[in-house]
């Protein structure tokens, strides 16, 4: 069953996905990223959420903030494992996009950081470190990143954001001391580390950076 994109309605998107509930429907819904109607694209995201389909990640870069938010919530809150790597990869970009005028989107950036934690690849770990170090990023998001680093090797069974039991990838890498080789020099610049001094020093001591080695 195919969608004629030029005549598709919000009702059709929902009904079509509900009727077919198949892999083909998810693929077709994913093609609606270029549809001119924001209502149709949002309906596609909600249908992909119901299907728990990987294709929801195609809407992470939608031109509508509302649709980006809905897609990220769908992937993270529904635990769509296949979509989480894409969300993790975008974590630094999402974190940098949160400014003084859109603080209500902080939970979206936090979801992206936690997605990186859950998938746990080398690139995801690097993304979390990048967020933690970047002073241009909102302090709450950076604090989330440092908290994640502090618990990276011993993650809790319960999602600290949603309060649900979550699943971590079996291929997660461990955070090792050499990945934090920048930390001693970073902490010597107290002005740079000041907003999150407590969290950074906790991380440093966990990995064997003593006071004498830090400053």
Cα 195 from Cα 107, distance rounded (Å): 20
Residue 166: the pLDDT is 78
- What pLDDT was estimated at residue 174? 94
Q: Is 193 a member of any domain?
A: no
Question: Cα 90 to chain center, whole Å?
Answer: 7
Q: What is the pLDDT of residue 100?
A: 62
Residue 13 lies in a domain: yes
Q: According to the model, what pLDDT value does residue 29 have?
A: 87
Q: What is the pLDDT of residues 29-44, one digit of tens each?
A: 888 899 999 999 999 9
Q: How far is CA 2 from CA 7, 9, 10, 12, 48, in A?
A: 12, 13, 15, 11, 16
> Based on the structure, what is the number of domains in the chain?
1
Asked whether residue 32 is domain-assigned, the answer is yes
In the predicted structure, residue 15 carries a pLDDT above the cut 90:
no
Q: Is residue 15 part of a domain?
A: yes
List, for residues 44-70, the tens digit of each pLDDT value: 999 999 999 999 999 999 999 999 999
Phi, psi torsion values for 158, nearest 5 degrees: -105, 135
Q: What is the pLDDT of residue 7?
A: 43
Q: Show the domain range for 33.
A: 1-58
Does residue 159 belong to any structural domain of this protein? no
Q: What is the pTM of this model?
A: 0.82
**Mean pLDDT on 119-145:** 94
Task: Write the CA distances from 5 to 29, 41, 47, 184, integer angstroms.
Answer: 10, 11, 15, 55
CB 31 within 8 A of CB 5: yes
| Tens digit of each residue's pLDDT (9 = 90 or more) over 77-95 | 998 999 999 999 999 999 9
| 48 within domain boundaries | yes
Answer whether residue 23 is part of any domain. Answer: yes
Would residue 39 count as lying in a domain? yes
């Amino acid at each position: 069953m195919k969608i004629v994109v030029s005549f598709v309605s919000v009702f059709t998107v929902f009904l079509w996905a509900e009727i077919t509930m198949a892999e083909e429907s998810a693929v077709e819904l994913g093609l609606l990223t270029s549809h001119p109607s924001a209502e149709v694209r949002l309906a596609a995201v909600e249908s992909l959420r119901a299907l728990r389909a990987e294709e929801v990640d195609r809407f992470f870069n939608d031109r509508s903030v509302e649709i980006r938010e809905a897609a990220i919530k769908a992937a993270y809150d529904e635990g769509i494992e296949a979509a989480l790597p894409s969300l993790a990869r975008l974590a630094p970009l999402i974190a940098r996009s949160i400014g003084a005028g859109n603080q209500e989107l902080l939970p979206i950036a936090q979801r992206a950081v936690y997605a990186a934690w859950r998938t746990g690849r080398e690139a995801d770990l690097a993304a979390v470190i990048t967020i933690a170090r970047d002073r241009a990023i909102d302090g709450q998001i950076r604090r989330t990143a440092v908290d994640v680093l502090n618990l990276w090797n011993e993650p809790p069974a319960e999602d600290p954001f949603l309060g649900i039991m979550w699943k971590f990838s079996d291929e997660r890498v461990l955070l090792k001391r050499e990945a934090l080789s920048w930390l001693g020099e970073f902490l010597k610049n107290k002005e740079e580390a000041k907003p999150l001094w407590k969290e950074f020093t906790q991380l440093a001591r966990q990995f064997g950076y003593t006071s004498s080695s830090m400053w």
